[in-house]
């Protein structure tokens, strides 16, 4: 499998700041933030599956535009995967005929442009030879991380989360983990805000990384604009076994 970083910023501002979205192979999106908008039309048409970590706008804002743009060109609906609460929020507050049309009923319910599929922690979704398994995350709304398994290696994306023993336990069960994409939204000076908003800061990230048993490449995502250099300086002073580095738009990871 290959994962291309379309967006990994905790905000906007400038040509290279796109919110969270990853293209997996050529038919899967992992979250649907503003990075989706940089794909060509032909690339958008090929997307069959969208796995959503949680319902916050920076992770879902471009899903409505995707469905609206390519729905008529496709022979089957785009499937959006998420936990029960995430899907409820999308139905009630986004695809609700007020913010955006309900594409699960367009052109009709028997052949819609969009369909929903609930997923649960630990229950694998098989897409050909590929497996995607939801992981627990701890955020201000019900949230998930995901483990992507190509059959030859694995990648974990934590989604938005603060420190979580349950998440660490699940990560440590994963063999052959090549990449761990984990967030760090705030510097340590804003640890109180990180805790209140259930995000990571460098000290919380260090606690998490000290508990990881494998040897994945750790890649840091969701840095807040204007604070990224400070956050990374604090992270790079971490003296643990793992060596985190910054995730960048345009990166391609193969596993």
Tell which residue, 63, 70, 87, has the closest CA to residue 6.
63
User: Is position 237 within any domain?
Assistant: yes
pLDDT tens digits for 75-128? 999 999 999 999 999 999 999 999 999 999 999 999 999 999 999 999 999 999
User: Is position 254 within any domain?
Assistant: no
User: Is position 115 within any domain?
Assistant: yes
User: Is position 33 within any domain?
Assistant: yes
The enclosing domain of 16 has a CATH number of 3.60.15.10
Q: Which residue is associated with the tokens 């949680």?
A: 54
pLDDT tens digits for 200-223? 999 999 999 999 999 999 999 999
pLDDT tens digits for 30-85? 999 999 999 999 999 999 999 999 999 999 999 999 999 999 999 999 999 999 99
Contact 180, 217 (CB under 8 A): yes
CA distance 246 to 184: 10
- Against a cut of 0.85, is the pTM above it? yes
What are the C-alpha distances in Å from 51 to residues 119, 121, 240?
9, 13, 32
User: Is position 87 within any domain?
Assistant: yes
User: Is position 217 within any domain?
Assistant: yes
List the domain range (segments joined by +) for residue 127. Answer: 2-249
Count of CB atoms within 10 A of residue 196's CB? 11
Q: What is the pLDDT of residue 16?
A: 87
User: Is position 255 within any domain?
Assistant: no
User: Is position 10 within any domain?
Assistant: yes
The domain total for the chain is 1
């Amino acid at each position: 499998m290959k994962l291309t970083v379309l967006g990994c910023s905790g905000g906007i501002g400038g040509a290279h700041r796109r919110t969270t979205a990853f293209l997996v192979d050529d038919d899967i999106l992992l979250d649907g933030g503003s990075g989706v908008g940089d794909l060509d039309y032909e690339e958008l048409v090929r997307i069959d599956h969208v796995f959503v970590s949680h319902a916050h706008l920076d992770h879902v804002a471009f899903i409505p535009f995707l469905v609206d743009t390519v729905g008529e060109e496709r022979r089957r609906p785009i499937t959006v995967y998420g936990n029960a609460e995430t899907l409820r929020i999308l139905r009630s507050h986004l695809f609700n005929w007020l913010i955006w049309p309900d594409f699960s009923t367009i052109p009709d319910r028997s052949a819609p442009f969009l369909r929903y599929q609930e997923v649960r922690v630990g229950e694998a979704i098989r897409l050909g030879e590929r497996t995607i398994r939801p992981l627990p995350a701890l955020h201000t709304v019900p949230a998930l991380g995901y483990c992507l398994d190509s059959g030859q290696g694995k990648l974990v994306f934590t989604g938005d989360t603060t420190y979580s023993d349950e998440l660490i336990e699940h990560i440590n069960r994963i063999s052959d983990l090549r990449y761990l994409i984990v967030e760090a939204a705030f510097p340590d000076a804003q640890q109180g805000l990180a805790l209140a908003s259930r995000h990571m800061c460098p000290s919380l990230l260090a606690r998490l990384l000290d508990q990881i048993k494998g040897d994945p490449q750790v890649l840091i995502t969701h840095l807040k604009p204007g604070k990224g250099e400070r956050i990374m300086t604090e992270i790079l002073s971490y003296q643990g076994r793992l060596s985190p580095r910054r995730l960048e738009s345009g990166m391609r990871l193969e596993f």
